Structure 1
């Protein structure tokens, strides 16, 4: 332990000196490389201790991110006569940073004998036995810690690719990170940033709520979501005539912005009515792909729980009742508006499914319907909600279920082997806090 503490002290001393503006460029470069080596050594010597001291965060911030920020500002400064030279320096530094993190993942996997699904094994290039180059005693870490630090590296490889305008590559790194530890929120926040740059507002909001509704949410996503919603509430036009797909999505997000911020609830009620009136035509024409409906349902579920200020499922009627008594009138109205809107969507999806059995089984609305039924199964108290009871959801649901005929017992295929196989919509929302129990 004493040697680890000594290495950490050396790193702290270099961390303090790296921001010294009196140092020359070459001297700062040498200090930064030395700092990278020390942090890498700490992560490999005792990963648990290093993570406890937030070494991985200091590595990114002091060895890379702060310098990237400085170079980015200089390249955007039109009064800088050396913008071209600075831009070349930035590109070189980003390439160096990318190489460092790729090598770090490789070292972590080799040192701790970790097999990652996306990593090409050394045997593919003729290396039959990998050896660690670290000549010190290594404290074996937990596998979860190894996966976390690899996810952290992947996220920053995505960030570096994004800074290099390699958007597809960035998205690939973020997806690898999300797949590696799906209950950590940071990769989803980064995916939201990518979608925001593309102008895809619905998917941006979807990834922000995915980043928040997890066992380990990413706090910055809450701020990012609120900023986006605040912008959406500033200009809500009057809706007239038939709504296009883009108008539907914009209005849907404006409705959620009002609900989330608990503001302009009369306007939210009007938006809800307009959307529900326009939705049947879009379902009939199949304007929205199945994935879009899944995202819409997930955002609705998140908004209902946000309106209730819930962080976990209510396990008993007493807990739920005592909780609801503490809600303010505006919050209760927000929840009622969103619950009513969600029931309206579910009812319309059920009404507009085909009556023929084969078409029904393959219809694009069923994934969204299935997710809402999962939610009701986990929140049975809401089945007694007067809004649901006064709707025609149960009647329409009965018709749909009756049209899906079970196979004949004789000669029917054995489908029990698929019981634990997730459906595409389950995979899309894995670890989503408000449906996670349904996926067990």
Structure 2
């Protein structure tokens, strides 16, 4: 269910309703609104009579295309025929007035259809506040009036929300369009359509990293949006063309180029250089505020998406299977090296940046701990002193200065996802990470404390990984008021450093009763600039003031991308869990360890020259950090990164 329609199904719908379709356009090319309204009523009733069959036959798509999209296309075609430009289209023009009126009414039609869906299904919703998520939480405890699966009703509601958002987007009311799309993602994150529409919004506003994030989410889900992969590829090609040879590129531009080179698989020889150039700017961009918490989460998700895509697909422009295998292996090794450096840099950030890096650190260490533990073994990362010392300093400082102790949070909280976890449900590359949760209900209290506890648990996990070498150890330190702190040490730590750390713990660790922690962990808040106009909307003029759309209560948008799955039954959740297919990272690591360290040879794409890379030296963690340090020094004289 919810898959793409076949040509035969589409043709069957065309034949069944041909008697209305043939009369829908008058001889002069205008729309017969009476026939169009009749077709709309017939299709809506058929969908409501048997929703499961209607969705199986993609009747809702036929309904949208014939009753709405075709009408918009006809008006825009007439505008192009008249030679009107997007800058000059008078508000007194008849076609413009008809188009605006139709889109205004289209919103009302779809809202009315959504009301009828709710009435038929037995679901309840408060339309004044537009509480979609709250309504389904309430409805999950009701007995439904039909045998139709709840997921079908949710899909139809999501379908209406997306296209209401499309109308607002066409009318250039981007804020309301965004709200509709976000609510659609909350209903179900397994389907990529709403994420794709959010990607269009972010792209039109020039938010490149956020646009890539949403396109990645639309592509890497159970029901991938049909055009998401093509959108990603096209967007990356545009960014490559604009920024590849740009002097003094910003951190954002370098990251986008790095991901584009990974995704497209060409000009492989430039991937490592671009990666190191970006990493050299990362720490300073975080400290200066040029990159916020949302940017970092988006960057991590985009990177996981690239890894997942490289593992699942082939790159076409190669001449032999051996060359393909070498190229794919090299790209995956580079992503691993990037994630290792990325983690080390985040751990080395100042305490003041904790709220900025916390969510990203948590997702990355959760992926390592629960889905890909062998990640620590690649390049001997588990013995890398820069990683271990940064981790020890970060965790010790976190516990002292955030007044956290090892027994603060009840163990029952381990079974609940944090808001940042819930916001990423449905993202296939992280499916194994979220499999540990027994509930899909997010923790709504003490989220900061739970997050800190899980970061400390990761430290204990690393201690176990390096236990044989005794390079990274932990011990309980008793502080003021008999509270306990788990202190981490590295083998290379000097005695004064260790003593200072212990003294700090005893002096600075305050009573738990005096805690005052801002509960901001897990919230992703995109900074919104003034929206631009998407090229595909360039033909639309500045619209008249749109209808007042019901506002969302602030509480429902507290976490912009959090999902609510309370409506899902345990049985459906189990089916969803079985349907997901996370990337088998451990299998890849085993292949990597058995493959030796011979350097791959491949044809260099730019210029046709042949280049040999020594992957052994390239992937050594120590050498990489030397390159990174030298680039950090060089980057100090470059212009500061543009604020997103």
Which whole-Å CA distance do the structure 1 matches of 2:304 and 2:99 have between them? 43
2:379 is equivalent to residue 386 of structure 1: yes
Alignment of 1:273-288 (within 5 A): 273-288=276-291
Return the match for 2:359 from 361, 367, 374. Answer: 367
Cα separation, partners in 2 of 1:9 and 1:227, compared to 1, 3 Å: closer
2:348 is equivalent to residue 351 of structure 1: yes
Return the match for 2:60 from 56, 61, 83. Answer: 56
Cα separation, partners in 2 of 1:24 and 1:341, compared to 1, 3 Å: closer
Which whole-Å CA distance do the structure 2 matches of 1:17 and 1:413 have between them? 70
- Contact kept, 8 Å, 2:75 with 2:99, in 1: the verdict is yes
Which whole-Å CA distance do the structure 2 matches of 1:276 and 1:53 have between them? 49
Cα separation, partners in 2 of 1:78 and 1:22, compared to 1, 3 Å: closer
- Contact kept, 8 Å, 1:14 with 1:31, in 2: the verdict is no
Alignment of 1:148-187 (within 5 A): 148-187=155-194
- Contact kept, 8 Å, 2:199 with 2:212, in 1: the verdict is yes
Alignment of 1:219-368 (within 5 A): 219-238=226-245, 247-309=250-312, 328-354=325-351, 362-368=354-360
2:216 aligned counterpart, secondary structure: helix
Cα separation, partners in 2 of 1:14 and 1:174, compared to 1, 3 Å: farther
1:25 aligned counterpart, secondary structure: coil
The 10-residue stretch of structure 1 (388-397 or 104-113) with the greater mean CA deviation from structure 2: 388-397
Deviation at 1:416, TM superposition (A): 4.2
The 10-residue stretch of structure 1 (365-374 or 386-395) with the greater mean CA deviation from structure 2: 386-395
Counterpart in the other structure of 1:17: 22
- Contact kept, 8 Å, 2:262 with 2:331, in 1: the verdict is yes
Show CA shifts across 1:396-430 (max 9, x none). 22332344438558xx7554464444434323322
Which whole-Å CA distance do the structure 2 matches of 1:175 and 1:9 have between them? 32
The 10-residue stretch of structure 1 (30-39 or 72-81) with the greater mean CA deviation from structure 2: 72-81
Counterpart in the other structure of 2:577: none
Cα separation, partners in 2 of 1:39 and 1:240, compared to 1, 3 Å: closer
- Contact kept, 8 Å, 1:167 with 1:194, in 2: the verdict is yes
Give unmatched runs, 5+ long, in structure 2. 1-11, 132-144, 315-320, 438-644
Which whole-Å CA distance do the structure 2 matches of 1:154 and 1:237 have between them? 38
2:236 aligned counterpart, secondary structure: helix
- Contact kept, 8 Å, 1:118 with 1:176, in 2: the verdict is no
Deviation at 1:363, TM superposition (A): 3.7
1:147 aligned counterpart, secondary structure: helix
Counterpart in the other structure of 1:127: none
Counterpart in the other structure of 1:435: 430
- Contact kept, 8 Å, 2:24 with 2:33, in 1: the verdict is no
CA RMSD of aligned residues (A): 3.1
Which whole-Å CA distance do the structure 2 matches of 1:257 and 1:298 have between them? 14
TM-score (norm 1): 0.81
Which whole-Å CA distance do the structure 2 matches of 1:285 and 1:266 have between them? 31
Give unmatched runs, 5+ long, in structure 1. 1-6, 123-137, 312-323
Alignment of 1:85-164 (within 5 A): 85-116=94-125, 140-164=147-171
Cα separation, partners in 2 of 1:75 and 1:379, compared to 1, 3 Å: same
Which whole-Å CA distance do the structure 2 matches of 1:197 and 1:187 have between them? 16
Which whole-Å CA distance do the structure 2 matches of 1:72 and 1:162 have between them? 15
- Contact kept, 8 Å, 2:121 with 2:146, in 1: the verdict is no
Higher relative contact order (CA 8 A, sep 6+): 2
Q: Number of residues paired by the alignment? A: 395
2:392 is equivalent to residue 398 of structure 1: yes
Which whole-Å CA distance do the structure 2 matches of 1:238 and 1:227 have between them? 18
Cα separation, partners in 2 of 1:278 and 1:196, compared to 1, 3 Å: same
The 10-residue stretch of structure 1 (145-154 or 362-371) with the greater mean CA deviation from structure 2: 362-371
Return the match for 1:426 from 421, 427, 437. Answer: 421
- Contact kept, 8 Å, 2:286 with 2:292, in 1: the verdict is no
Which whole-Å CA distance do the structure 2 matches of 1:305 and 1:282 have between them? 27
Which whole-Å CA distance do the structure 2 matches of 1:200 and 1:432 have between them? 21
- Contact kept, 8 Å, 2:251 with 2:285, in 1: the verdict is no
2:79 is equivalent to residue 70 of structure 1: no
TM-score (norm 2): 0.56
The 10-residue stretch of structure 1 (369-378 or 156-165) with the greater mean CA deviation from structure 2: 369-378
